[in-house]
């Protein structure tokens, strides 16, 4: 995989994440701060060979397709940050939308939440772009409140990422 394709993919992901604040009609000061915190924590992904791994049992996975699941996604992922940043991260991440802001051509985004006994315990993002070399899928923002939840979410993300070169943050 050419480094330029990895960087192109990553920059598209960064632009998409920023668009939820930049294109919002009335972004809150907290959501703007949250975007800054998120951007400071981002790292460029690397190419990874995906191997099928067994997921721990007891988890249910949901594609985020409505606002209540966006809130669960935001709440879960915001736990990744220190206490003094959780509130702005929750405000920022709850602004993500898969329907309100059009996704540019050649980009597909899927957010996932893992539940254990009805409670959200992990989150993850699959960000797919069309690059000069073909489809590139990036696995981002995988976070679990326990090690088992993190492992389960990463295994799930790898199981749904099958269409091209896989990048993992």
Mode of pairing for the β-strands spanning 165-168 and 107-116: unpaired
pLDDT at 38 over 90: yes
Q: Residue 164: what pLDDT?
A: 66
Which residues have C-beta within 8 Å of that of residue 111, sequence separation ≥ 6?
63, 64, 69, 70, 73, 96, 98, 123, 124, 125
Taking 90 as the threshold, does the pLDDT of residue 3 lie above it?
no
pTM equals 0.91
The pLDDT score that the predictor gives to residue 1 is 54
- Ordered domains of the chain (ranges, CATH): 1-168 (3.40.630)
Task: Report pLDDT digits (tens) over 133-144.
Answer: 889 999 999 999
Are 143 and 111 contacting, i.e. CB atoms less than 8 angstroms apart?
no
Give, for 20, the enclosing helix (H) or strand (E).
Answer: helix 3-22
Which pLDDT belongs to residue 26? Answer: 86
Q: Is the dihedral of CA 116, 123, 99, 4 positive or negative?
A: negative
The answer on pLDDT for 51 being more than 60 is yes
Query: What are the pLDDT digits (tens) for 73-131?
Result: 999 999 999 999 999 999 999 989 877 667 888 899 999 999 999 999 999 999 999 99
- Tell me the torsion sign for CA atoms 95, 31, 75, 12: positive
């Amino acid at each position: 995989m050419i480094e330029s394709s990895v960087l192109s993919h990553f920059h598209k992901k960064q632009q998409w994440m920023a668009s939820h604040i930049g294109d919002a009609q009335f972004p809150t000061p907290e959501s703007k701060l949250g975007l800054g915190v998120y951007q400071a924590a981002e790292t460029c992904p690397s190419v990874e060979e995906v191997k099928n791994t067994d997921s721990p049992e007891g988890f249910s996975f949901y594609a985020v397709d409505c606002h209540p699941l966006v809130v669960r996604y935001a709440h879960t992922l915001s736990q990744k940050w220190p206490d003094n940043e959780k509130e702005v991260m929750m405000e920022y991440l709850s602004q993500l939308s898969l329907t309100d802001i059009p996704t540019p051509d050649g980009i597909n985004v899927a957010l996932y939440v893992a539940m254990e006994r009805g409670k959200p315990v992990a989150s993850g993002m699959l960000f797919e772009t069309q690059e000069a070399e073909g489809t590139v899928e990036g696995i981002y923002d995988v976070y679990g409140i326990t090690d088992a939840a993190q492992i389960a979410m990463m295994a799930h993300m790898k199981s749904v990422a099958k269409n091209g070169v896989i990048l993992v943050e």
